[in-house]
Structure 1
Amino acid sequence: MLLSGGDPLTLPDSQLDFLLSSIRRIPHVEVIRIGTKVPAVLPQRITSRLVRMLKKHHPLWMSIHFTHPDELTPETRAACTQLADAGIPLGSQTVLLKGINDSVQTLKELYHGLLKVRVRPYYLYQCDPILGSSHFRTAVSKGIEMIEGLRGHTSGYAVPHYVVDAPGGGGKIPLLPDYFQGRLQGGVVLRNYENRLFRYPDYECGNAPE
């Protein structure tokens, strides 16, 4: 079950507690997720009282929206640390925005900073084609370029899933650089992050080594 925007953490503690308690009573709901930007823009909202209340509703996960490493202020770092110390698994969601975070170095700095406060980079979103956003949108190839520039050049924990939210309710569709190059002599040809090619035995082929 996902609680999302508006932003659930802008509710008073009592209302949020009521919502979470009500959801927790639904038998088939196993995990509750909260989508929020609050730790990045209003870290003072993450109080000891709020965290104690959230702990009552485990298993509870939190997806925090981050855009740029400049958001990782000391206050935001402290807020994330407080949530992580409460046993709440934290992930990040980032929208790829032209002129703001569409460089490998910027994303790497953001993702390294997030990992230091126990926030796992999870989604890098292609900017949706909504009215008034054309100046922020990049080509889809730019997003693939970002993943290509991260994969193999930093920890795998710092490489998110690059996804397009398909229109018409199609859901999130992941996009990756094309590391599969074809088949050759009973194996598959794979390309690594340095553009080197390797043949890997395909054990579905009859002539692959045992």
Structure 2
Amino acid sequence: MSLQESSARGFRAYTAKHLDDLLRRAGLDDEHRIRVRAVATVLPFRTNAYVVDHLIDWSAVPDDPVYRLVFPQPDMLPEADVTRLAALLRGDAPNAEIQAVAHGIRRRLNPHPAGQLDLNVPHVGDDPVPGMQHKYPETVLFFPKQGQTCHAYCTYCFRWAQFVGEPDLKFASNDVATLVGYLKEHPEVTGVLLTGGDPMIMGEPVLRRYLEPLLELEQLESIRIGTKSLAYWPQRFVSDPDADDTLRLFASVAEAGKSLAFMAHFSHPREMEPPVVAEAVSRVVSTGAVIRTQAPLIRSINDHPGTWASMWRGQLRMGMVPYYMFVERDTGPQDYFAVPLARAYEIFRDAHASVSGLCRTVRGPSMSSTPGKVCVDGVAEIAGQKVFVLHLIQARDPELVGRPFFAHYDPKAVWLTDLRPAFADRFPFEPAPVARRLSA
């Protein structure tokens, strides 16, 4: 099999052109393979030899949870769409025709949830600033242009639209000067999150060009890096040629008086089993960085309280801080992965109850929705009504943070938009209805 390979660090990436050979390794029949390939024309596929050789149990495919984390499944998209694309692939249709059909399907999958290209994008005057989001007053997200890929793609990723090769679905920037200028004009911003993709796909010299200018800003208290690298390529901090230089760069953040928060994504306990992961975690923590862990709750992969309890305990033992359980977002193959909110709360509650207080730093289940991060606190009966109890962990309007509100109980609801307010005519983040003017 031909591989994309960097001989300097031993990293080997598998992309869609390798997909059929990898599926043969799993012993999947022709029909199954072509339907997987059909889904991969719509949703992005990328993995690497470390994930394939060390994390996936190939004897348990297609039910193995890590396999399902990185390989498309035939039922991730509507059956009619998959059948149509599979027919085009069987008939060796021109790539332009296949991509036109795939493009139409992508447009129906809500590629930019929570107003990512509208509500969150900062402006200087009337001009949008590319590659930045400013959803909460104190936090700006920045998408480094060189970090808009990952060591491997998660099939549930809510940023899947960044990776499908359509320019109008991407947002990224390499203009650090504009970022710094924007921050100086907005002294209320105290934290910057570098995200993507995965910023840790960048080598140390490139990462340094983004980090060092931020260290000069007195207003900044924290720098966050969102990454899956500890799970999918821990060698980045152990044996890569620039691993030591990267750790020295991390240490310089603490030396500058800033907090470096390493936002690590772990979706299943198996991702933490290889010894190299513990070594990578130890090396990152030694720089003064704090590793906080988070992941979405995803059906067929981690929708069991024991799975989460095992992850949180393991993370605590390694020196990481459990931080968030997210609800699968309203984008991409949500119908495939979504867990009803009522069940999500039960999973969180049971996992939370079975771990020590040191693990209970974790929050959730949380929906990263348009108004903010909405947490499902529980189910209660109030005034004869069964309701969800909710609150905003974070909000566009800081006045709403921490204030409880209620929604009618719906056992099938999977997202905020499925809920109806209880004991009120609107949710607290919804605008009041405009009063009608009485005619004279």
Q: TM-score, normalised by structure 2?
A: 0.39
Aligned residues: 180
Give the structure 1 partner of residue 233 of structure 2: 42
Task: Select the residue among 260, 266, 270 that pairs with 1:66.
Answer: 266
Q: Which runs of 4+ in 1 moved over 6 A?
A: 179-182
Give the structure 1 partner of residue 363 of structure 2: 161
Q: CA RMSD in A?
A: 1.8
SS in 1 for 2:368: strand
Task: Select the residue among 206, 209, 213 that pairs with 1:15.
Answer: 206
CA distance in 2, matches of 1:111, 1:164: 20
Give the structure 2 partner of residue 196 of structure 1: none
Give the structure 1 partner of residue 94 of structure 2: none
1:152 aligns with 2:353: yes
Give the structure 1 partner of residue 416 of structure 2: none
Q: Spell out, residue by residue over 1:98-133, the C-alpha distance to the aligned partner (whole angstroms, 9 max, x if none).
A: 011010111111111111111111000000021223
SS in 2 for 1:164: strand
Question: Which of 1 and 2 has greater Rg?
Answer: 2
CA distance in 2, matches of 1:153, 1:84: 26
The structure, 1 or 2, with the larger RCO (C-alpha pairs under 8 Å, 6+ apart) is 1
Note if contact 1:147-1:176 (Cα within 8 Å) is conserved in structure 2.
no
Give the structure 2 partner of residue 57 of structure 1: 253
Note if contact 1:66-1:92 (Cα within 8 Å) is conserved in structure 2.
yes
Structure 1 residue 84 displacement after superposition:
1.1
Note if contact 1:17-1:54 (Cα within 8 Å) is conserved in structure 2.
no
Note if contact 2:309-2:352 (Cα within 8 Å) is conserved in structure 1.
no
Q: Spell out, residue by residue over 1:173-208, the C-alpha distance to the aligned partner (whole angstroms, 9 max, x if none).
A: 1222258989xxxxxxxxxxxxxxxxxxxxxxxxxx
Give the structure 2 partner of residue 4 of structure 1: 195
Note if contact 1:127-1:137 (Cα within 8 Å) is conserved in structure 2.
yes
Identity of aligned residues (%): 26
SS in 2 for 1:111: helix
Give the structure 2 partner of residue 188 of structure 1: none
Give the letter aligned to residue 115 of structure 1. Answer: L
Structure with bigger strand share is 1
CA distance in 2, matches of 1:33, 1:123: 15
1:95 aligns with 2:296: yes
Structure with bigger helix share is 2
Give the letter aligned to residue 55 of structure 1. Answer: A
CA distance in 2, matches of 1:144, 1:90: 25
Q: How does 1:134-145 map to 2 (within 5 A)?
A: 134-145=335-346
Give the structure 2 partner of residue 194 of structure 1: none
Give the letter aligned to residue 153 of structure 1. Answer: S
Q: TM-score, normalised by structure 1?
A: 0.80
CA distance in 2, matches of 1:54, 1:150: 32
SS in 2 for 1:147: helix
